[in-house]
Structure 1
Amino acid sequence: MRFSILLVLALLIVVASTCKSNGSCGCCGCRAKAKARAANRVNIDEFDPKDDGNIFGLEIWNDTKIHVNDNNVARLTNPNHLFHLCCENRKLPAACVQKCHFNVYDKQVLENIFIGTDDCPLDFLPEMQFCAAQGKDHRECCTARGVGDTPAGSKCLTFCDQRPDIYTPIDYSYSPCLDRFEDMKQCFYNDIRKSARRHFIPKLNKNLEF
């Protein structure tokens, strides 16, 4: 029992911690540092301060050149595709990218990564959570699904807010939150699907006009 509690707490700490091993700040959209890391640039101070506003791994949302058509609109509005693409673009190891699918990314996967029985390194777990949420704030949905209805109360909503560079220190009181992981994940999926449809389908209709 004690091991289980410690495992849950440790998992929560990892998911909410900084992405320090990968050179970014917060979890996980520090744009300049993440882009510099991806480009293998050593001196982050050399990065152009005139950032384009895109968060590394989520550029597809602001890609003005993307051509939405009947062949790709289903993919662009599929949360699994966006989750997977983010993990790929953030250069996560292949063993982690394979888990970047809502049918695969579950509580058991988190536990396996933590105890070291999965090939995906523990350091990349925060980035997977960030990509699953697409760097968005899902607290409204999480509240409606009862994520805050645990002994930890509204603290659990911390894990639903994956906006870039938000960091909250975690302690033992957050341990009940992992029991609501599936509810959090369902919110991520549903919210992303709605956002993607609102974002990409109008581009399809616009293309059809020409």
Structure 2
Amino acid sequence: MVRVIKPCAATLAAVGLAFAMLATVTPASAAGPAAPTKGHPVRLASVTGSGRIFYAFRPDDEIRFTVDAQVAPYTRGFPGTIVPDGLPTDARGTVRFTHHKAGTNEVGTADAAVDCLVTGDHVATLTAVITTSDVMPVGQRIGLSISQGHGHDKGRLGFSWGVVNLDVDANGKPVQPVVGTCMAPAPFAPVVDGGYTVHPGDLEVR
């Protein structure tokens, strides 16, 4: 014979209270940070700093990037298209690039205007269009990725013309495709001097 034990009222009340508490607490803890909603103010992303990188294919050269970029949502619109007001990743700011060649003492420079920025945690991807340069065509878009350093790690930086973004044309000639907005490789080059600060931000929904 199987003996059935019926829980008392106090036990049932305690179990009910426990489930009620779980129902209250679990969704909030499992959901994580609240997703941005339409019309809700968000923290705008930015990345600033200056650093010298170690580029493995030019180990003795001094290559430095200075970046000052901030998101400016919906400021680069395309009237008459599906994005007349622009995108949440629209951005403004400047990029300066200098490359000092150790063997010849030549120095190449470029200045560019930032047009796109997107962040995730302490990593940023941005693009900028060359405004003045003695080594790059004016009007060319470049892509950069930056990871912020922590402690003794000074972070990393990737640039679109370093080891990626190569194709061949119909004649088999190597060409460098156009860089799209906010498109850049992973940050592959270690920062050896200086560094960058990435302030991550959510995308503004309109």
- Sort the TM-score into its range (normalised by shorter chain): under 0.3
Q: Which has the higher strand share?
A: 2
Q: Which has the higher contact order (CA 8 A, sep 6+)?
A: 1
Q: Which has the higher helix share?
A: 1
TM-score normalised by structure 2 residue count: 0.23
TM-score normalised by structure 1 residue count: 0.22
The structure with the largest alpha-carbon Rg is 2
